[in-house]
Structure 1
Amino acid sequence: MTTVSAPGTGAELIAGYRPGESSLFASPRGTLLAEGTYFAVPPSSRPDGQADLARRVQAVLGVAEAAGHQVRTVVGAVPFAPGADAHLIVPQRLHRGGAPASAPHRVLPFGIRSVRPVPEPEHYRDAVARAVQQIRAGRYTKTVLARSLRAEAPGFDPAPAVRALAARDPNGYTFAVDLGAGRTLFGASPELLVARHGRTVTANPLAGSAARSPDPDEDHRRAAALLASAKDLHEHAMVADQVTEVLGRYCRKLTVPAGPSVIGTATMWHLSTPVTGEIADDVTSLDLATALHPTPAVCGTPTAEARAAIGELEPFDRGFYTGMVGWVDAAGDGEWAVTIRCATADPEGLDLFAGAGVVADSDPAAELAETTAKLRTLLTALGLEESDVA
Structure 2
Amino acid sequence: MGADTPIYTLENIFYAAIAQQKAVAVWRLPLEQQVQLCVSLQQNYINGQPNLENSSPGFLFSPFIPGEEQPTVFIKADLTYTSETGRLQYSRDVDRSQQQEFSDVLAISQNYNWHLNEVQQHAEQTESGFKYAVTEAVRSINKGAMEKVVLSRTASRKLPASFDLVTAFNAMLDAYPKAFVSLVSVPGVGTWLGASPEILVSIDQQQIFRTVALAGTQPAIDGESVGNAIWRQKEIEEQGMVERYILSCFKRLRLREYSEVGPRTIVAGNLMHLRTDFSVDMKEVDFPTLGTDMLQLLHPTSAVCGLPKEPALNFILAHEGYNRSYYSGYLGPVNSSAGTHLYVNLRCMQLLKDQVILYAGAGITAESDAEKEWQETQHKMQTMGKILSDFN
Amino acid at match of 2:234: K
Question: Cα deviation per residue 1:356-377 (whole Å; 9 max; x = unaligned)?
Answer: 0000010111101110001110
Deviation at 1:203, TM superposition (A): 1.4
Structure 2 counterpart of 1:345 = 351
Amino acid at match of 1:275: F
Over aligned residue pairs, what C-alpha RMSD do you find?
3.3
Seen in structure 2, the aligned counterparts of structure 1 residues 252 and 142 have a Cα distance that, compared at 3 Å, is: closer
- Are residues 1:231 and 2:228 paired? no
Greater Cα shift, 22-31 or 136-145: 22-31
Seen in structure 2, the aligned counterparts of structure 1 residues 117 and 162 have a Cα distance that, compared at 3 Å, is: farther
List aligned pairs for 1:238-249, cutoff 5 A: 238-247=241-250, 249=253
Amino acid at match of 1:33: L
- Are residues 1:253 and 2:260 paired? no
Question: Cα deviation per residue 1:306-327 (whole Å; 9 max; x = unaligned)?
Answer: 0111111111100000000102
Structure 1, unpaired ranges of 5+: 45-51, 62-71, 99-109, 111-115
Counterparts of 1:210 and 1:223, CA distance in 2: 12
Aligned residues: 338
List aligned pairs for 1:140-289, cutoff 5 A: 140-153=146-159, 157-181=164-188, 183-197=190-204, 198-214=206-222, 216=223, 219-220=224-225, 224-226=229-231, 229-247=232-250, 249=253, 251=255, 253-257=257-261, 259-279=262-282, 280-283=286-289, 285-289=291-295
- Are residues 1:23 and 2:43 paired? no
Contact 1:190 1:265 in 2 (8 A): yes
Counterparts of 1:158 and 1:360, CA distance in 2: 41
SS of equivalent to 2:229: helix
1:367 pairs, out of 352, 373, 384, with 373
Structure 1 counterpart of 2:41 = 37
Seen in structure 2, the aligned counterparts of structure 1 residues 199 and 6 have a Cα distance that, compared at 3 Å, is: farther
Contact 2:226 2:267 in 1 (8 A): no
Deviation at 1:27, TM superposition (A): 0.7
- Are residues 1:79 and 2:63 paired? yes
Deviation at 1:97, TM superposition (A): 5.4
List aligned pairs for 1:282-361, cutoff 5 A: 282-283=288-289, 285-329=291-335, 333-361=339-367
1:54 pairs, out of 48, 51, 56, with 51
- Are residues 1:119 and 2:125 paired? yes
Contact 2:259 2:280 in 1 (8 A): yes
Deviation at 1:92, TM superposition (A): 2.1
Contact 1:173 1:337 in 2 (8 A): yes
SS of equivalent to 1:253: coil
SS of equivalent to 1:291: helix
Task: Give me the TM-score of the superposition, normalised by structure 1.
Answer: 0.77
Counterparts of 1:118 and 1:288, CA distance in 2: 32
Q: Flag the structure with larger Rg.
A: 2
Deviation at 1:76, TM superposition (A): 3.0
Structure 2 counterpart of 1:94 = 80
Aligned-pair identity in percent equals: 25
SS of equivalent to 2:242: helix
Question: Cα deviation per residue 1:195-222 (whole Å; 9 max; x = unaligned)?
Answer: 01243111122100101224x3xx4489
Question: Cα deviation per residue 1:9-61 (whole Å; 9 max; x = unaligned)?
Answer: xx9658964483631121135542112433645454xxxxxxx3327x94xx4
Contact 1:117 1:150 in 2 (8 A): no
Counterparts of 2:315 and 2:379, CA distance in 1: 23
Seen in structure 2, the aligned counterparts of structure 1 residues 340 and 25 have a Cα distance that, compared at 3 Å, is: same
Amino acid at match of 2:243: A
Seen in structure 2, the aligned counterparts of structure 1 residues 367 and 358 have a Cα distance that, compared at 3 Å, is: same
SS of equivalent to 2:230: helix
Counterparts of 1:344 and 1:336, CA distance in 2: 19
Question: Cα deviation per residue 1:271-325 (whole Å; 9 max; x = unaligned)?
Answer: 0001111233111644432331111100001111001111111111000000001
